A and B are shown apart, each in its own frame.
Chain A
Amino acid sequence: MNDMETPVFLAPRSLKKVITHFCPGCQHGSVHRLVAEALDHFSVQERTIGVASVGCSVFLYEYFDIDVVESPHGRAPAVATGVKRARPDRIVFTYQGDGDLAAIGTSEIIHAANRGEDLTVVFVNNTTYGMTGGQMAPTTLAGQKTSTSPYGRDIANDGRPMRMAELLTQLDGTAFSARVAVNTPRNVLAAAKVMRKAFQTQVEGRGFAFVEILATCPTNWGLSPLQANERIAAEMIPCFPLGTFKDWAGADGAASAGAGQ
């Protein structure tokens, strides 16, 4: 076999080979790919059930070649709870935007995490409601102009951006919580590792895993795809720091180190 025949880049098996409806430069597509790669990595496509939420990612089932159940706006963690309890040996994930998870669905996400549901939650934070035309989200940055914060988000009136990955870390039921970004090749590679970890958490039955992904919505930000990537670095990461805030592997490591003393 010569080098020309050695594939260096393969389409994930868990994704269908179709064109997505996302806007140019939207990173929902990149996040879909990271999820699919993680499913492929653990060879769980056949036993995975996706839970679609309401937002630009609602067409999950058009792109993932897996069984999918769609849930009402914000309720995906409750729907996923029902799915996982009925089929405990399946890999179940929700895929939610910030409007979905951090506004209407705050109660559902906090309680699913607190119960320690064996789920993987993929949380795409683009600081706005994409599908409905760029309104203010709980994650909208202070001063950020949106269609419902035309003078910029006023923290005195609207509160401050919510940091979900940190917030959920406080709950004992959360086994893994991290924030990544997909704005640079280096960050994408790091995000892929974290995504795998989030699914490994479930594959090993360790409890609730949460990955927040900082992603672009060039359309509603009114920026080009490249400018949008730059905004993630310049404006979003300072407010939403990247990192792993809770890690069962770390806890395990600490426990075994302690045992060795």
Chain B
Amino acid sequence: MDQRLFVKGNEAVAMGALAAGCRYYFGYPITPQSDIPEYMARELPPLGGTFIQAESEIGAINMLLGASACGVRAMTSSSSPGISLKQEGLSYMAGSELPGLVVNICRSGPGLGGIDASQADYFQAVKGGGHGGYHLIVLAPHSVQEMYDLAMLAFDLSDQYRIPAMLLGDSVIGQMKEALTPHARPQVTLPAKDWAVEGKGTRSAQRIVKSLYLGDGELEAHNWKLHRRYELLREHEARWEALDVEDAELIVTAFGVTARIAKSAVRMARAAGLKVGMIRPITLFPFPGAAFAEATRNAKKVLCFELNTGQMVEDVRLSVARDADVYFYGRPPGAGSLPTPEELYAQIAAYCRRSA
């Protein structure tokens, strides 16, 4: 499997999911992610898998809930307005400790908004989205290759922790074409799915997948259990990419499409002799807070770029060393509003000059 392919991000995520053993896809069309259901509709039947175009995003997420409850690898995908409809099901899946993959190729909102790239769904993705106080495992690819790699990782983490995973992409990453080197699924040992409903068979005890806990203290205990898993994720599964942070005086941070532009701006800054580094969160939940704490022992300035009016910056502020300053530069999504590398470079240069 060492060929290089030239594919779209949306195709890459579908290919990664198939390589991860996903054989069930449930979805509903919405731009800019419809290539994913289209790919799955074509590729799953020959693999013996199942593709269903559901009646709605609500139908799709609940089909995912049912399939995941049976212990199989299954996924759905959508874009912002559709993900809003899936929040009910996501809360139920989180409460029922069900794994599964949800891909969100974000577009701009609120409401019908537009179909251009956006990072305005950060809060919805990492802070719960649905009711009840839960987290998803949230991964943010910034390249076509990562769409593939992180789809695989999402399934493994989701199965390991019994937490639904969300791949938070955007319309640029979903729609652009780049080189992709497909590879086999890494060998990982995952816990047996000894909770999956399958019919009792010869078991004496039934299995129940549920989120209703009415007995005295039961729900509190259940929520503590979920909380401890989120803590474990924070300890062990935070992932990020660090560039030139060792001697940096200013740390740039961005994820997804914005990170690509920011990388160019950081290279321009280094070429201009500015001591600038970059931290790109790959997991948005768990947020790589430790990377920021570590980097801001030296670098006392952090500049956060986002395609919204400031969402991830809140997590950055909670993560940096006490005496580090955090600045934000961004704008709400709207057609044609992606910042250029020059524009971000100008921000970096200005903040480098600025005395604290």
Which residue numbers of A lie inside 8 Å of B, CB to CB?
45-49, 51-52, 58, 61, 64-72, 75, 78-87, 90-91, 107-108, 110-111, 115
Q: Look across to chain B and name the residue whose beta carbon is closest to the beta carbon of A64.
A: B206
Contact status A82-B58, CB under 8 Å: no
Q: Give the distance in Å from the alpha carbon of A71 to the alpha carbon of B208 in the complex.
A: 11
Closest to B66 in A: A82
Other-chain contact of B66, A46, A51, A91 (Cβ < 8 Å):
A51
Given known A72-B88, A82-B24, A85-B67, contact A67–B59 (CB-CB < 8 A): no
What residues of A have a CB within 8 angstroms of the CB of B67 in the complex? 82-83, 85-86
Query: What is the distance, in angstroms, from B33's C-beta to the closest C-beta of chain A?
Result: 20
Residues A70 and B89 in contact, CB atoms below 8 Å apart? no
Name which of B56, B66, B69, B207 has the most chain A CB atoms within 10 A of its CB: B66
8 additional A-B residue pairs with CB within 8 Å, beyond A71-B65, A78-B63, A86-B74: A69-B69, A70-B210, A71-B62, A78-B58, A78-B62, A85-B63, A108-B55, A111-B55
Q: How far is the CB of A199 from chain B (nearest CB, A)?
A: 14
- 22 example contacts (A-B, Cβ-Cβ < 8 A) are as follows A45-B200, A46-B201, A47-B201, A48-B199, A51-B66, A52-B210, A58-B212, A65-B200, A68-B209, A69-B210, A70-B210, A75-B89, A78-B58, A78-B63, A79-B65, A79-B66, A79-B69, A82-B65, A82-B68, A85-B24, A85-B67, A86-B67
List B174-227 residues whose CB lies under 8 Å from chain A: 197-202, 206-212
The answer to whether B19 has its CB under 8 Å from any CB of chain A is no
Contact B209 A81 (CB under 8 A): no
Determine the residue in chain B with the shortest Cβ distance to A70.
B210
**What residues of chain A lie closer than 8 Å to B41, measured between beta carbons?**
none
Question: Which of A46, A52, A72, A82 counts the most B-chain CB atoms under 10 A from its CB?
Answer: A82
Which residue of chain B has its CB nearest to the CB of A114? B55
Query: B243 in the interface, Cβ–Cβ < 8 Å?
Result: no
CB distance from B63 to the nearest CB of A (A): 4
B64 CB contacts on chain A under 8 angstroms: 82
Question: 5 shortest A-B CB distances, which residue pairs?
Answer: A82-B66, A78-B62, A82-B67, A111-B55, A86-B70
| B200 neighbours in A (Cβ, 8 Å) | 45-48, 65-67
Determine whether the beta carbon of A66 is less than 8 Å from that of B206: yes
Known: A78-B59, A85-B63. Is A61-B24 also a contact (CB below 8 A)?
A: no
Which of B63, B206, B207 has the largest count of A CB atoms less than 10 A from its CB? B63
Q: Do B92 and A71 touch (CB < 8 A)?
A: yes
- What count of chain B residues pass the 8 Å CB interface test? 39
Q: Is B77's CB within 8 Å of the partner chain A?
A: no
Does B26 have its Cβ within 8 Å of any Cβ on chain A? Answer: yes
Interface string of B42-79 (1 = CB under 8 A from A): 00000000101011101110111111111110100000
Cα(A85)–Cα(B65), bound, Å:
12
Partner of B199, one of A51, A64, A67, A75: A67
Q: Which of B63, B71, B199, B206 contacts A79 (CB 8 A)?
A: B63
- With CB as the reference atom, state the residue of chain A lying closest to B201: A46
A87 touches B199 (CB 8 A): yes
Q: Say yes or no for B296: interface residue by CB 8 A criterion.
A: no
Residues of B close to A111: CB separation below 8 A: 54-55, 59
A83 touches B55 (CB 8 A): no
Q: Beyond A69-B209, A70-B210, A83-B70, is A49–B63 a contact (Cβ under 8 Å)?
A: no
User: How far apart are A204's CB and chain B's nearest CB, in angstroms?
Assistant: 18
B96 lies within 8 A of chain A by Cβ? yes
- Residues on the B chain within 8 Å of A72, using CB: 62, 65, 88-89, 92
A86 and B210 contact, CB distance less than 8 A: no
B56 to chain A, nearest CB (A): 6
B210 with A66: CB separation less than 8 A: no
Within 8 A of A (CB), among B277-314: none
Taking the closest CB of chain A, its distance from the CB of B67, in whole angstroms, is 4
Q: Do B58 and A107 touch across chains, with their CB atoms under 8 A apart?
A: yes
Which one of B56, B58, B88 has the highest number of Cβ atoms from chain A below 10 Å of its Cβ?
B58
Shortest distance in angstroms between A56's beta carbon and chain B's nearest beta carbon?
13
Cβ–Cβ < 8 Å partners of B210 in chain A: 52, 61, 68-70
Smallest CB separation, A98 vs chain B (Å): 19
A69 to B67, CA, bound (A): 10
Tell me which residues across on chain B come within 8 A of A61, comparing CB atoms: 206, 208, 210
Partner of B69, one of A75, A78, A83, A110: A83
A64 to B67, CA, bound (A): 21
With a cutoff of 8 Å between Cβ atoms, the chain B residues found around residue A71 in the complex are: 62, 65-66, 92
Q: Which residues of B have CB within 8 Å of A87?
A: 70, 198-199
Known: A47-B199, A65-B206. A70 touches B66 (CB 8 A): no
Question: Smallest distance from the beta carbon of B207 to chain A beta carbons, Å?
Answer: 5
Max count, chain B CB within 10 A of own CB: residue among A71, A78, A107, A115: A78
* A75: chain B residues within 8 A (beta carbon): 58-59, 62, 65, 88-89
Q: How far is the CA of A68 from the CA of B208 in the complex (A)?
A: 5
Residues of B contacting A66 with CB < 8 Å?
A: 199-200, 206
Across-interface contacts of B202 in A (CB, < 8 A): 46
How many Å lie between the Cα of A106 and that of B291 in the bound state? 48
A30 to chain B, nearest CB (A): 22
Cβ of A67 and Cβ of B56 under 8 Å apart?
no
